[in-house]
Amino acid sequence: MASDNSTVHLVEHPLVQHKITLMRRKDASTNTFRRLVHEVSALMAYEVLRDVATHEVDVDTPLERTTGRVIDGKKLVFASILRAGTGILDGMLEVVPSARVGHIGLYRDPKTLVVVEYYFKMPADLPDRDVIVVDPMLATGHSAVAALDRIAEHRPKSLKFVCLVSCPEGLAALARAHPDVPVYTAAIDRQLDEHGYILPGLGDAGDRIFGTK
C-alpha cells in the first residue's frame, strides 16, 4: 500500500480534510474552489515546512532586546508544474512571501504519450536551495516524475513533492523513480480511471481553478 511508504506524509489535520471535502463537491464555484485551493495549500505549507532551517536573530520588542528564530525564505523554491500548480503556489506564497518561484511546463504527446517539456525556469543556485515541487493532483505520476527528474539534474539541496489529492498508482510511480523524495498529500484516493482521472477525486483541478470548463 502506497501509504506505508515512509516518504509519504498524509496530512490528516481536520482543517485540511474539511477543505478537501468542500473542494470535491461538484457544485463548488470556480471562486470557491480557487479560494479553497489557496487555503488548503497554506495549511499544507505548515506541514511541509515543519523541518525548515531557522537561524537566530536579535529583535527589539517595545520593551527590550531579545532573540528569535526566522527562516530564510529566499533559500526556498516553490516549483509549480503548470498549469494547476499555480493554485498551490499562490497559497504557499501567502505563508512564505519571500520564497523564490520556479515553473515547469509539461504536456503529454497524444501520439507517443511521452511527456514533453515546453517550459523550464528555475532560480539560480539550486544546490543552495530547498525545492518544493507543487501540483494539486498526483494521478499517473508521469508529470511529477518528469518534473522531479529535470529539477534533480540541478542538484537542489533538498527536494519535496506536494499535492492535494493522490492515488496509489501515482504514489507507486513516484516511489519507484524518486524513492528519497518525501511526498505530502492531503488525500490518497482509490484509483485512476481509464482516462487518468483520480477516483473519487475532484475532477480536473486546472479547469476548476481557472474556470476553463
Q: Which of 38, 115, 201, 209 touches ligand URA (CB under 6 A)?
A: 201
Residue 83 assigned as binding residue: yes
Name the pairing type of β-strands 65-71 and 76-82: unpaired
Residues in binding contact with ligand URA, number by CB under 6 A? 10
Asked whether position 204 contacts ligand URA by CB under 6 A, the answer is yes
Nearer to ligand URA, 139 or 146 (CB): 139
CA distance 52 to 122: 20
Stretch that binds ligand URA, among 41-49, 93-101, 110-118, 192-200 (CB under 6 A): 192-200
Residue 135 assigned as binding residue: yes
Please report how the helices 85-95 and 30-48 are oriented relative to each other, as an axis angle in degrees rounded to 10: 60
Residue with cell string 505563508: 95
Q: ∠ at Cα 178 (175, 184), nearest 5°?
A: 65
Please report how the helices 142-152 and 168-177 are oriented relative to each other, as an axis angle in degrees rounded to 10: 20
Site for ligand URA in 63-122 (CB under 6 A): 84
Helical segments of the chain, H only = 14-24, 30-48, 85-95, 142-152, 168-177, 205-210
Residue 99 assigned as binding residue: no
Nearer to ligand URA, 96 or 161 (CB): 161
Closest CA to 38 of 22, 54, 14: 22
Q: Which of 139, 145, 187, 209 touches ligand URA (CB under 6 A)?
A: 139
Nearer to ligand URA, 123 or 206 (CB): 206
Taking the complex as a whole, how short is the minimal distance between the CB of residue 81 and ligand URA, in angstroms?
Answer: 11
CA distance 49 to 184: 11
What residues make contact with ligand URA under the rule CB under 6 A? 84, 137, 139, 196-198, 201, 204-206
Residues making up the binding site for 5-phospho-alpha-D-ribose 1-diphosphate = 83, 108, 135-143, 204
